[in-house]
Amino acid sequence: MTKSNIYVLLICLSLLNACADKHLLSSKSGVKQDETINITQQDEVQRENVVTLIQFYDSYTSLTADDQKSIYADTNEALIENKSDSFQRIKLAMMLSLPSSRMRDINKAQLLLQNILQENNLHSTEYALVNLLYEYTLDSTKQMQKNRDEAKKLETAQTKYDNLQQKYDTLEQKLNDLKNIEKTMNERDVKPANKP
């Protein structure tokens, strides 16, 4: 077989393969079209949920302490009724992680977000939001630890400074005492010399 015959044969096989795939796709297109519509609708619902969560996150900061507590209680109640409601769980994690929240507990938020991520049943947009919140809580925890470490270092340095200041004051007092003694001795030495 020559090269030109092989090329012709390959082209024919590719055309037959393409025709077979087209026929197969057209027979399944009715089913796939319904699945595509379903997936698209689910994607849209999930995106709306994420937008709603972000809007909630934004508005929650401006609420009074009582309103925050009320929403927190309502969310916990909704989770008691349906523990697998990812929307409510993410909402709770937001309340626990938000810096201006009266309910803030960064460790609880971190655990909750970690559990949500490990379950691996989130839509990609929800996953991105939860992952972002989780990274935020990790950074916040690291910063809090760093602040505690810095506070300990500052406290240690302050203690050392206070001890050194106390030693300095003691030494200064001793020096002043010695100067007074020297002054007194000089005054005694001068008085006998002045007497005739």
pLDDT of residue 170: 93
Radius of gyration over every alpha carbon of the chain, rounded to an integer in angstroms: 38
Distance between CA 58 and CA 51 in Å, rounded? 11
The phi-psi region of residue 120 (left if phi > 0; otherwise alpha if psi is between -120 and 50; otherwise beta) is left
| Positions of the chain with pLDDT under 50 | 1, 20-29, 31
Give pLDDT tens digits for 149-179: 999 999 999 999 999 999 999 999 999 998 8
Give the number of other Cβ atoms within 10 Å of residue 12's Cβ.
Answer: 10
Q: What is the SS3 assignment for 85?
A: coil
pLDDT of residue 193: 55
Domain boundaries, the chain: 43-146
pLDDT of residue 25: 46
pLDDT of residue 21: 45
The pTM score is 0.60
